[in-house]
Amino acid sequence: MSQPLDRVRAHLDTHFGHAEPAVASVTFLGAETIDVLRYREPSDGPADGPDDVVSYVSLGCSRHPMVDPTAMLADPELGPRAEVVLRLRDTKAITGLARSLAIVAASPAVEGVVLMPDALVDLGGPLWAKASVRVPFTAVLLGDSDIAELPLDPPRDPVRFLSATPITATEAAWVRLKGADAMREAWRTDGVDVLDPNRPAAQPN
């Protein structure tokens, strides 16, 4: 692991109380490896209970700055850097989520996407698999997370940690039509728990 990723990892370990995460490494053809760190945040209930929140955090997206694919010249040091954080409850029966998060985190390197708050990243298929359950979540809506940004040595931009909220195809269409803030307001109005992998889709008007 090379700079700045070792600093990012130390920053994340500190944020999560120096917990030791599980690590999954995902490699894409023609791109560098993305690690996905899985930090468990125990609830006050039983150990490994359904109320425990698990944070999946990418490690590798911030290896290089994100650049606009239309830019004529790309500076190897200058530009925004980010990692992606997805939080869910009750993930014991879920598979495939680490790979989906890695796809989002690799999109700047693979597709020239610049990840930023309010961006919609559509994977075109379920974000995870669960036995005997149809998973309706096919995209993520990015926003700010509660992880403080990590300053890097000048002239590098700091690393931002963007939350990734799983959304359904219907919700993604609403975001495209009305915007990210309207979707978040609909969740608040409907009392939607976006950390619940079994939640119904919001039905915005």
Q: What is the pLDDT of residues 169-192, one digit of tens each?
A: 999 999 999 999 999 999 999 899
- Confidence (pTM): 0.91
DSSP string covering the chain: --TTHHHHHHHHHHHTTT---EEEEE--TTS--EEEEEEEE--SSSTT-TT-EEEEEEESGGGS----TT-S---SS-S-EEEEEEEEE--TT-BSHHHHHHHHHHHHHHH-----TT-EEE-SS-SSBBTTB---EEEEEEEE-SSPPB--STTSPPEEEEEEEEEEHHHHHHHHHH-HHHHHHHHHHHT--TT-TTPPPP---
Amino acid identity at 194: V
* Mean of per-residue pLDDT scores for the chain: 90
Q: What distance in Å separates the CA atoms of residue 21 and residue 28, rounded to the nearest whole number? A: 22
Percent of the chain with pLDDT over 70: 89
159-168 and 81-89 beta bridge pairing: parallel
**Statement: residue 48 has pLDDT above 60:** no
Peptide bond into 166 cis (omega under 30): no
**Mean per-residue pLDDT for 156-167?**
97
State residue 200's pLDDT score: 81
CA atoms within 13 A on the CB side of 108: 22
